[in-house]
Amino acid sequence: MSAELRFDASEIEALSRAIMKLPGEIKAKAMARAMRRMRDMARTRVVKRSAERTDLPQRMVRELTTAVFNAGGNTVEIVEKSGWIGLYQIGATQTGKGVRVRGRGSYRSAFIAQMDSGHRAVLKRVGRKRLPIRELFGPNPAHDITNNPEVFLKVLAELVEEALLPRFLHELGQILPR
């Protein structure tokens, strides 16, 4: 059994010729609108993937992530700024044997304390004596992106491949009837 697959590129060529005939400012306006929408879509996808990989709530990663569109350079910049997130921020609870963090397990001999500054943290004694004491941390979403850029570049490449042209054509359709 054989199958034949044919592509008719005439529609794509006609579309390309029609776009080339449009005035430059209309094309620029449509591309700027499409890129602003792509900025929001890219931020959403990066936040979702980062939250999945670090096992954090999307809301927490979203608060750490910004996205801006530079119209002059037609570029979108997504910046995720975070340090190591303290276990207390993830929802640590004190137990009889230590501290339990939902989805991350138990930390034996750890305890929750509040500093004079008001900062609450999960702490653990490091030495045999009472001091030194160290704060315990969970994941760092920005660190994950830095160490695994191929994962996030793949997410962005898929977005560009599947959404940029349809979005540009949609924006052209919104501008042209006027």
Tally of domains within the chain: 2
Q: Please check whether residue 66 lies inside any domain of the structure.
A: yes
Q: Please check whether residue 1 lies inside any domain of the structure.
A: no
70 shares its domain with 36: yes
Q: Please check whether residue 4 lies inside any domain of the structure.
A: no
106 shares its domain with 165: no
28 shares its domain with 69: yes
Mean pLDDT of 156-170: 87
Q: What pTM value is reported for the model?
A: 0.74
164 shares its domain with 121: no
**What's the domain range around 154?**
10-81+141-175
Distance CA 20, CA 85 (A): 50
Give the pair of three-digit tokens for residue 1.
């059994």
Average pLDDT, the chain: 85
Q: Please check whether residue 73 lies inside any domain of the structure.
A: yes
pLDDT of res. 6 = 54
